[in-house]
Amino acid sequence: MAESDDSNNQKRISKHENEESPVDTSTTTTQEGDQKMEQGPETDTKVETDQTVEKTTEPAIDAGASGTSDSSFLELDPETERRMKKIAEQDAREAEAEEELKSKEVGIFAVKTSIGHEKMVANWLQMRAHKRKLEIYAILSPPKLRGYLLLEGVDNREALQDLIKGVQHARSVVDGVSSIEEIEHFLTPKPLVSGIEEGDVVEIIAGPFKGEKAKVTQIDEGKEEITVELFEAMVSIPVTIRGDHVRILEKERRS
């Protein structure tokens, strides 16, 4: 009986120890959890540090990209740069030539020629002036100004005399300088019917009735035409012709 009691007591002690063991296990688990919690901040700190490095690096990358973009935008290819330089040089030359022209005295000069050879002399002078690069800007041969040419250019008498030297039918340079107002009437063409009045006797100098004499019966200034009646026609037939196709023989007498 005593042995049985001792055996039962040992079983109770063992059972009691087994019941207390979960407490130790939980204590161990709690300690491990505490260790993990202690390690947790280190991991978070590492993540935050990596994020900080990334944030610090990103602006540097953006700045570099921006700088590269601006640099490529400002750079010009050699062909474009050459064209821009050429345009700038041309503008500078034109501005310089304009300033130089303003400082020089420009006038209109008359050149005496043989009557009937005005246009031929004008063509020769134009070719010579271009070849010698003289500052002659215009040469005018007005139909009403027989035996003379008008030249517009820089006032250089020696150069003008040398220009006409040796040119056939060119005589001399007339002294004096003319203004644009003095020759303006040569630049504005007159109407073809200018000076013609109704009743004038004219001679037809062009067209199928060339050489015929006629009397002016009507004038159309808008079309620059006149209507005439032929003297030698069997039947009076009105004929309409251009105003520059007649030559006035006799003016109509006004009472």
pTM of the predicted model as reported, rounded to 2 decimal places: 0.41
Q: Are β-strands 136-140 and 148-154 bridged in parallel, bridged antiparallel, or unpaired? A: antiparallel
Which of 68-72, 139-143, 157-161 is the least confident region?
A: 68-72
| pLDDT of 203 over the 60 cut | yes
Q: At what angle do helices 157-164 and 118-132 cross, to 10 degrees?
A: 120
Q: How many CB atoms lie within 10 A of CB 149?
A: 23
Number of domains in the chain: 3
Contact of 202 with 213, CB cutoff 8 Å: yes
CA nearest to 215, candidates 239, 191, 242, 193 = 239
Give dist(CA 159, CA 10) in Å, integer.
148
Contact of 211 with 203, CB cutoff 8 Å: yes
**What angle is formed at CA 11 by the lines to CA 8 and CA 17, rounded to 5 degrees?**
145
Q: Looking at the structure, do residues 225 and 166 belong to the same domain, yes or no?
A: no
> Which run of H or of E encompasses 21?
helix 2-74
> Which run of H or of E encompasses 74?
helix 2-74
Burial tier of 217 (Cβ tally within 10 Å: 0-12, 13-18, 19+) = middle
Mean pLDDT of 217-230: 93
**Domain residues for 7?**
1-75
Contact residues for 249 (Cβ-Cβ < 8 A; gap 6+): 200, 201, 202, 203, 213
84 assigned to some structural domain: no
The per-residue pLDDT for range 173-193, each reduced to its tens digit, is: 998 888 888 888 777 777 888
Final residue of a structural domain among 187, 212, 241: 187
Residue whose structure tokens are 């000076």? 195
35 assigned to some structural domain: yes
CATH number for the domain that contains residue 220: 2.30.30.30
68 assigned to some structural domain: yes
- Residue ranges of the alpha helices (H) in 133-221? 157-164, 184-187
CATH number for the domain that contains residue 155: 3.30.70.940
Q: Looking at the structure, do residues 182 and 207 belong to the same domain, yes or no?
A: no
Residue 246: which pLDDT band, with cuts at 50, 70 and 90? very high
| pLDDT number for residue 62 | 47
The per-residue pLDDT for range 98-123, each reduced to its tens digit, is: 776 666 678 899 999 999 999 999 99
Q: Looking at the structure, do residues 118 and 143 belong to the same domain, yes or no?
A: yes
| pLDDT of 233 over the 60 cut | yes
The per-residue pLDDT for range 45-103, each reduced to its tens digit, is: 444 444 444 444 444 444 444 444 444 455 778 888 888 889 999 888 888 777 766 66
Q: Looking at the structure, do residues 182 and 111 belong to the same domain, yes or no?
A: yes
CA nearest to 204, candidates 242, 253, 235 = 242
Final residue of a structural domain among 187, 215, 234: 187
